Amino acid sequence: MTLDKPYKDIPGTTIYDAEQARKGYNLNQFAMSLMKPENRERFLADQSAYLDEWNLNPVQKQAVLDMDMNTMIAEGGNIYFLAKIGATHGMSFQQMAGSMTGMTEAAYRDMMVGGGRRPEGNRLKDLDGWTPPSNEKAQTMRPDAPAKFTSALFTSHVPAIGAAMDLGKTEEPYWKRVFDGYEWTRKWAKDNAPDVVILVYNDHATAFDASIIPTFVLGTGAEYPVADEGYGPRPVPDVKGYPEFAAHLAQSIIQDDFDLTLVNEMVVDHGLTVPLSLTYGELGPDEQWPTRVIPLAVNVVQYPVPSARRCYELGKALRRAIDKWDGEELNVQIWGTGGMSHQLQGPRAGLINKEWDNAFLDHLIADPLGLTEWPHMEYVDEAGSEGIELVDWLIARGAMDDQFQGGEPVVDHRFYHVPASNTAVGHLVISNPAAPHLSEPASAGANPEETTE
Ligand SMILES: [Fe+2]
């Protein structure tokens, strides 16, 4: 079940993957800084002093001072980043490549003029009869997986809910009706803090502006500061990531044909922090969330956005990735956030579709595959232009046991309420059969709690 990284054995070759990128993050960022003439000047004037600004480990620092590119690469450097260092020293790319081969500059140049290095004897397949790794995608669960996906939590992430908490309005009648729907969840969450939450949400023109529109973003960083969305940052803790597990997920999911954008540094907006606040209650900026979080952001701001089908399939790839983990034992939850019906723009602003929202919840529980057939237009037309956020929910659902020939999920808690600001609030906790459950659920799945102001 270990991840396929056969490229590690190719002779004389280091592949720059998420693991290497993590190791070489500061080294590569230092190299990038040399894109600016003033930084090149400062570096050349006093290399050691300049390097001290970049928090390199001693091996990395010495390798840069010695211009030892093999060691830089072993330490996580990537050739395209490191080339900026060579360029700063006035080296050509041929000089840099040649410097890693143990040949003299002249001998390397002559080899290239003579047709380059021959592949025979320099390939993995020549050394040990390498056979290509299987591309088969698991259709069943791994029963003894150290990382266990226990529960899926779904919730709206309305910014006004965060503001109500931050401004101490949760006991006001308008807001109490919303927060009452999360009481069960808070009790459950107290006994059920997972080791990591993969939190699916969408960025609201906060971390990503109009200059870049990534469809699926996986956060591989160690920490995510709380964003200032124009009202000042919410007074809640910054979010701790889990780089090792995130790098593992990236490796598996991308090999599973999903082209994620990997992000090491980003701020997180209400889409990510409001679900944490709803579940774990009021925590101040100096406290800590009780779990690590891997952000998974889906573009629903600029069309085209991914289909519900694509999100469901990403959920399946995510589950295969979780099952392949061979590290420490982990209790993993996946949260799907956003929605439910709402429209924030134009003359149709304020649209709410209670019947459609509840049909969506019914299908999400009992017929997720059927739900993947609903086209974009269905979401936008019925649930409002911003109701499209509900495609985010399909990712967590696609990862559940019953989609891998396991048992159907248990509905622990279901809640629906109108309104919170401009939106309908939906909330659902469903668990895989082996997950721990509260002995007395606050609401049964077959009888959804539903309130309308
Ligand atoms: Fe949102």
State the distance from the centre of ligand 1 to the C-alpha of 303, rounded, in angstroms.
15
Q: What angle do CA 118, 119, 123 make, to 5 degrees?
A: 150
Signed CA dihedral, 86, 91, 96, 101: sign only: negative
317 in Cβ contact with 258 (< 8 Å):
yes
Q: Identify how many contiguous H helices and E strands the chain contains and give both numbers.
A: 20, 11
pLDDT for residue 447 is more than 50: no
Alpha-carbon distance of 340 to 344, in angstroms, equals 12
Alpha-carbon distance of 71 to 60, in angstroms, equals 7
Write down the pLDDT at residue 393: 98
Q: Which two tokens stand for residue 6?
A: 């056969």
State the distance from the centre of ligand 1 to the C-alpha of 352, rounded, in angstroms.
15
Q: What is the mean pLDDT of residues 194-200?
A: 98
Strands (E) in 202-350, as ranges, are: 216-219, 223-224, 239-240, 261-263, 292-298, 330-337
pLDDT tens digits along 317-365: 999 999 999 999 999 999 999 999 999 999 999 999 999 999 999 999 9
Identify the DSSP state of 226.
Answer: B
Q: Where are the alpha helices (DSSP H) in 285-338?
A: 308-324
State the distance from the centre of ligand 1 to the C-alpha of 339, rounded, in angstroms.
6
Signed CA dihedral, 136, 142, 148, 149: sign only: positive
How many C-beta neighbours within 10 Å does residue 366 have? 14
Q: Which two tokens stand for residue 100?
A: 């890693």
State the distance from the centre of ligand 1 to the C-alpha of 203, rounded, in angstroms.
7
Would strands 449-452 and 410-420 be described as parallel, antiparallel, or unpaired?
parallel
Q: Which two tokens stand for residue 416?
A: 């629906």
Number of residues in the chain: 453
pLDDT for residue 36 is more than 50: yes
Phi, psi (rounded to 5 degrees) for 78: -115, 140
State the distance from the centre of ligand 1 to the C-alpha of 148, rounded, in angstroms.
28
pTM: 0.92
Angle between helices 183-191 and 270-280 (to 10 degrees): 80
State the distance from the centre of ligand 1 to the C-alpha of 272, rounded, in angstroms.
9
How many C-beta neighbours within 10 Å does residue 267 have? 17
Residue indicated by tokens 């799945």: 445
Strand partners for 451:
417
pLDDT for residue 91 is more than 80: yes
Write down the pLDDT at residue 289: 98
Identify the DSSP state of 268.
Answer: B
State the distance from the centre of ligand 1 to the C-alpha of 297, rounded, in angstroms.
11
Residue indicated by tokens 């649209």: 351
pLDDT tens digits along 378-422: 999 999 999 999 999 999 999 999 999 999 999 999 999 999 999
Alpha-carbon distance of 332 to 53, in angstroms, equals 37
Domains of the chain: 6-128 (1.10.700.10), 147-452 (3.40.830.10)
How many C-beta neighbours within 10 Å does residue 136 have? 6
Structure confidence at residue 1 as a pLDDT band (50, 70, 90): very low
Residue indicated by tokens 């709402």: 342
Q: Which two tokens stand for residue 84?
A: 């900026």
Identify the DSSP state of 158.
Answer: -
Alpha-carbon distance of 439 to 95, in angstroms, equals 69
State the distance from the centre of ligand 1 to the C-alpha of 31, rounded, in angstroms.
37
Write down the pLDDT at residue 446: 38
361 in Cβ contact with 445 (< 8 Å):
no
State the distance from the centre of ligand 1 to the C-alpha of 259, rounded, in angstroms.
23
Q: Omega into 419 within 30° of 0, i.e. cis?
A: yes
- Which residues have CB less than 5 Å away from ligand 1 (the ion)? 338
The chain-wide mean pLDDT, for the chain, equals: 94
Q: Where are the alpha helices (DSSP H) in 89-216?
A: 93-99, 105-113, 124-128, 159-166, 173-180, 183-191
State the distance from the centre of ligand 1 to the C-alpha of 388, rounded, in angstroms.
9
pLDDT for residue 19 is more than 90: no
Q: What is the mean pLDDT of residues 217-240?
A: 97
Structure confidence at residue 444 as a pLDDT band (50, 70, 90): very low
Alpha-carbon distance of 101 to 134, in angstroms, equals 32
pLDDT tens digits along 71-84: 999 999 999 999 99
Alpha-carbon distance of 320 to 302, in angstroms, equals 29
356 in Cβ contact with 341 (< 8 Å):
yes
pLDDT for residue 440 is more than 70: no
Residues identified as active-site: 270, 342
